Amino acid sequence: MWGDIAEMKREFNGYTLIEVIVAVAIFALLVTPIVLLIQQSIKVNVSAKRILEVAQVINEAVETLVYQNVYGNGALNIGNYRVDYSVDDTYKTGTIQNIQNSEIDFRMFLDSSGVLQIENIATHTTYTRNISSTSFDKLKLNIKYDEASKQAIYTFYLNNAQIASIVSGNVSNPAKLGGEFVSNSTSHYLYVIIDGVYDNIHEKLTQNMFNLWLTNIGNNIKIIATTPFIVYENSARHAALTETEKVKKIELKVYNINGELVKEYTTYYSYRVK
Q: What is the pTM of this model?
A: 0.54
| Radius of gyration of the CA atoms of the chain, in A | 29
| Burial (CB count <10 Å: 0-12, 13-18, 19+), residue 139 | buried
Q: pLDDT by residue for the chain (274 residues), tens digit each? A: 555 545 545 544 555 666 666 666 666 666 666 656 666 555 545 566 787 788 888 888 888 887 777 778 999 999 899 999 998 866 555 444 445 556 789 989 898 899 999 999 888 899 999 998 888 899 999 999 998 999 999 999 999 999 999 999 999 999 998 888 888 888 888 988 887 888 887 778 887 878 777 777 777 888 776 665 455 554 443 333 334 455 677 889 999 989 999 988 887 766 443 3
Identify the pLDDT of residue 15: 59
**CA pair distance 10, 4, nearest whole angstrom:** 10
Identify the pLDDT of residue 237: 37
Identify the pLDDT of residue 234: 47
Identify the pLDDT of residue 157: 95
- Residue environment code for 121-133, b if the CB has 16+ CB neighbours within 10 A, otherwise e: bbeeeebebebee
- Given a contact cutoff of 8 angstroms between Cβ atoms, the answer to whether 96 and 211 are in contact is no
Identify the pLDDT of residue 88: 80
Spatial neighbors of 31 by CB under 8 A, at least 6 apart, are none
Identify the pLDDT of residue 78: 92
106-129 pLDDT per residue, tens: 989 898 899 999 999 888 899 999
155-212 pLDDT per residue, tens: 999 999 999 999 999 999 999 988 888 888 888 889 888 878 888 877 788 878 787 7
**Helix (H, G, I), strand (E, B), or coil: what is residue 201?**
coil
Identify the pLDDT of residue 37: 62
DSSP single-letter state for residue 43: H
**CA pair distance 183, 134, nearest whole angstrom:** 17
Identify the pLDDT of residue 241: 35
Identify the pLDDT of residue 253: 95
**CA pair distance 198, 219, nearest whole angstrom:** 29
- Given a contact cutoff of 8 angstroms between Cβ atoms, the answer to whether 131 and 190 are in contact is yes
